[in-house]
Chains A and B, each alone.
Chain A
Amino acid sequence: MRNFKKTLALLSSLAMAGTMFAGCGGGGDTTATTTAGGDSADTTAAAGGDSAETTAAAEGGDSAAAADEGKVFNIYAWNEEFKGFFEKYYTVPEGITVNWIINPSDGGVYQEKLDEALLAQADAAADDKIDMFLAEADYIKKYTDTDATLDVTSIGVQKADTMYQYTVDAASDANGVMKGVSFQCCPAALIYRRSIAKDVLGTDDPAAVQDALSDWSKFESVAATAKEKGYYMTASYAETYRTWSNNATEAWVDANNNLVVPQAMKDYIAQAKNFMDKGYTLTAGVWDDEKTAQMFADGKTMCFFGPAWYYNFSMGNAQDPEKGCSGDWAIVEGPQAYFWGGTWLLGATGTDNPTMLADIMNTFTVNEEVCTNLVKNEMQFSNNTKVNEAVAADPEYGNAFLGNQNDTAVFCELAKNIKFENKTKYDQLLNENITTVFLDYFKGTISEEEAYANFYKFVSEKYPAVTVPAQ
């Protein structure tokens, strides 16, 4: 009987502990979503938890919209980044309500929701029609090449000379018709911790650091030194992925819709395996908490890779006033110049607010005041060469986060080399998942052949139109 009671007490206390933890789980859900990544949002969608609809009340201002146009402006986006700039720098015409429909990008959830809405666009009520939606470099082609997007020059959007050519190329269809604009240009850099660089290389001067890291073999030898001193070169097995993928000389999918793993990705796989085996990198995913924890002052990681939006939007831990290390960073070109991401604003066919749509696009590309604010106050690299060059030449300007380095000057150089080539509409899931599917191989659980087979299986499940090699 005593035993019974004891067992019972033990079991019920276990159960209680379980419920206690579970309580915490429910509360901490928002941060959790980013950790798991992947398709997790699918399940939450069932519970109605994932699409955050927020409505920004219209504020007074000059009424740019024609009187007979719609009263609701619907914007589809996958995060709050552009929403922040929009609310700060764009004056919504009087009488118009801006409606943000935000779904996470992970696992293609954003595109699923957007596709449903676009396909229903013709039958939707005027106020429910999408007016503008945001798209990323990985999947912009899926939309620009269809009738779902609108020739924005026809509604008064300027194809300005100050735009970076690649941003125009990316937003144009096969015939060169411009379907949208980007408010940012995304040359990407190697972002390093100054204090760790001093310890490992003896200097934190960007020119000297660039010298030491100017190609991959130098990068690897520095990684070896860093490891000896107790540091990690990178925090994620996928950290360098974009430097390879966005310089690929072949597309993922060829003209006959066959999947071809480009040589650049194979090189990445070899490098990631090597770095994992030698312990130069942590085994976190590119968006994992384990990686972002490395951005705190007590982090042990020397290099991160990313464009301006990365340290503005994704390095919050480094900017933490207590645990962060703002000012202890700097950027250099690194082993290979590349670009990463970028947000394009696309006009949706069927919009009932063409005037406002054009006005927004022009505001964030050719309005110099707004672009200067984006650069100076928001750590963005704008899509306006004139503004960027003015800031680059400004001796007064320095980015406090980067120890007063003039990052715009660095990016101005890097931006010259960006080409938007070899992209397909399948890129997002392929790019996101080749790294995660190969993780088992990097960890040594399975062979390289098995990892390729798993990747082919994944692709054949996700994209029936793409032919994969027999697995």
Chain B
Amino acid sequence: MSNNKRKSISYAKWGYIFIAPFFIVFIFCSLIPLVSTFYNSFFENYRDGLTQVGPNFVGLENYKKLFTPDNSGNIQVIDYTVNTMIMWVMGAIPQLVVALLLAIFFTANRLNIKGQAFFKTVIYMPNLIMASAFSMLFFTLFSNVGPINQIISSMTGEVYDFFGKTVSVRSLVAFVNFLMWFGNTTILLMAGIMGIDQSLFEAASIDGATSTQVLFKITLPLLMPIIVYVAITALIGGLQMFDVPQILTAGHGNPNRTSMTLVMYLNNYISTSKNFGMGGAISAIMFVITGALSFVVYKSLVTDDSPKKKVKKSKGAELL
């Protein structure tokens, strides 16, 4: 008996050793920076030219400053959060829909698409290019003297000022993000679909289920965990949206700061004056927003009875 006990203890030890690298890396590269960001947000700490100011403890002063409404009654942090979310939703919804469609096409046995490897590579390709290079390209394409405007002006005689209108700037940002990430999402969703037991699809086809029924009764419910994962990672990535709007609008969030995202706002504080106090405060707010939204997404997509149970029930019902 004592022998038995020792054995189990020693197994546990190896388990801990095997998972230790992750925790060590996590503590040093994520947890400590995270805590120090919160810590920094309570200090006045910036550079004025070559002179360092602070760090002086100021309590919640930085947060107060962030939440003070301006003359027109708007709170900037909230405005920029809304901007970020709008641009994210504009990109993420088509991204999910297109990726889902592609994933279904690619995995459908009845379609049996040829040259899959080629297409998968191609749709994944944009993700390999630096976001800054990609946005630079779009900036050039859609600028007032760019090729798109040359086409437009040759047809209508007028130049469309893409970077002067809220709708077009936001759409461009969303489109670039969509283009960069739908391939990635497709690959994830395909992996999810391929993980579903083939016998379910076979059973469904024997029972005479239509493609739509298969999609809504089998594929989607079983894919839910992956969709939730994709949605939450996309959300976190979306809240950190920076490079694309930064480059498309030269850091100004034109027009009238309507495409300014939270991280661009953060960058304004950090880049010139190394204002770690305000930067920390914005980061802390972003952390809270990210946490809250992830929770909402998780709760709204994962229902009480786990998806698996549901499908088992329905499968059982069909088999009866």
Contact = CB atoms under 8 A, between A and B. Distances in A.
Interface of A: 1, 4-5, 7-8, 11-12, 15-16, 18-19, 21-22, 24-26, 28-29, 32-33, 35-40, 42-44, 47, 107-108, 111-112, 115, 118-119, 142-143, 146, 148, 283-284, 288-290, 293, 425, 429, 433, 436-437, 439-440, 443, 445-446, 450, 453-454, 457-458, 461-465, 470-471
Q: Which of B102, B242, B254 has the most CB of A within 10 A?
A: B254
A24 to B, nearest CB: 7
A463 B126 contact: no
Interface string B237-272: 000001100111111101111000000010111011
* 7 nearest A-B pairs in the assembled complex, by CB-CB distance: A38-B250, A25-B137, A39-B251, A461-B268, A465-B48, A38-B251, A19-B125
Given A15-B123, A32-B139, A35-B139, A462 B268 contact: yes
B105 interface: yes
A445 B126 contact: no
Contact of A465 (B46, B246, B269): B46
Interface string B51-76: 10100000000000000001110001
Contact of B144 (A11, A12, A283): A283
A144 B143 CA distance: 39
A283 B53 CA distance: 39
Contact of B140 (A7, A28, A108, A464): A28
Contact of B251 (A107, A443, A446): A107
B134 A19 contact: no
A471 B48 CA distance: 22
Contacts of A37: 250
A462 B272 contact: yes
If over half of A's interface residues share one DSSP class (helix, strand or loop), that class is named, otherwise mixed; here it is helix
A19 B257 CA distance: 30
Contact of B269 (A39, A288, A461): A461
B33 interface: no
Given A454-B257, A461-B265, A437 B252 contact: yes
A464 B278 contact: yes
B296 interface: no
Interface in B63-118: 70-72, 76, 98, 101-102, 105, 110-111, 113
Contacts of B102: 8, 11
30 contacts: A1-B110, A4-B111, A7-B101, A12-B119, A12-B122, A12-B123, A15-B122, A16-B122, A18-B179, A21-B141, A22-B125, A25-B137, A26-B130, A28-B137, A28-B140, A32-B139, A36-B136, A36-B139, A37-B250, A40-B136, A40-B247, A43-B243, A112-B271, A290-B144, A429-B272, A436-B252, A461-B269, A461-B278, A464-B53, A464-B273
Interface residues of B, number: 64
B164 interface: yes
B267 A18 contact: no
B158 interface: no
Given A40-B246, A146-B50, A463 B145 contact: no
B251 A40 contact: yes
Interface of B: 46-51, 53, 70-72, 76, 98, 101-102, 105, 110-111, 113, 119, 122-123, 125-126, 129-134, 136-137, 139-141, 143-145, 161, 164-165, 179, 183, 242-243, 246-252, 254-257, 265, 267-269, 271-273, 275, 278
Contact of A463 (B50, B133, B242, B272): B272
A348 to B, nearest CB: 12
Given A15-B123, A36-B250, A443-B164, A293 B145 contact: yes
A90 B164 CA distance: 47
Contacts of A16: 122
B44 to A, nearest CB: 8
Contact of A439 (B126, B132, B254, B265): B254
Contacts of A148: 50
A463 B143 CA distance: 30
Given A289-B143, A437-B252, A457-B70, 13 more contacts: A8-B105, A11-B98, A19-B122, A22-B134, A29-B133, A32-B140, A42-B267, A143-B50, A440-B256, A443-B255, A453-B72, A463-B48, A471-B70
B157 to A, nearest CB: 15
A37 B163 CA distance: 14
B257 to A, nearest CB: 6
Contacts of A470: 70-71
A32 B50 contact: no
B123 A465 contact: no
Q: Which of B98, B136, B273, B275 has the most CB of A within 10 A?
A: B136
A147 B39 CA distance: 31
Given A43-B132, A283-B144, A446 B255 contact: yes
Nearest to B248: A36
A289 B146 CA distance: 10
B133 A26 contact: yes
A461 B269 CA distance: 5
B312 to A, nearest CB: 30
Contacts of B268: 458, 461-462
A24 B140 CA distance: 11
Contact of A47 (B49, B130, B246): B130
A434 to B, nearest CB: 12
A289 B132 contact: no
A383 B181 CA distance: 54
A133 to B, nearest CB: 12
A111 B50 CA distance: 10
A429 B251 CA distance: 12
Contacts of A118: 50
A440 B144 contact: no
B121 to A, nearest CB: 9
Contact of A115 (B47, B113, B132): B47
Q: Which of A25, A38, A450 has the most CB of B within 10 A?
A: A25
A32 B136 contact: yes
Given A40-B136, A290-B144, A440 B267 contact: no
Contacts of A440: 164, 254-256
Given A44-B132, A443-B164, A22 B139 contact: no
A208 B217 CA distance: 84
B247 A25 contact: no
B161 A21 contact: no
A140 B247 CA distance: 27
Contacts of B76: 457
Contact of A445 (B46, B164, B247): B164
A24 B146 CA distance: 14
A26 B254 contact: no
Contacts of A28: 137, 140
Nearest to A456: B70
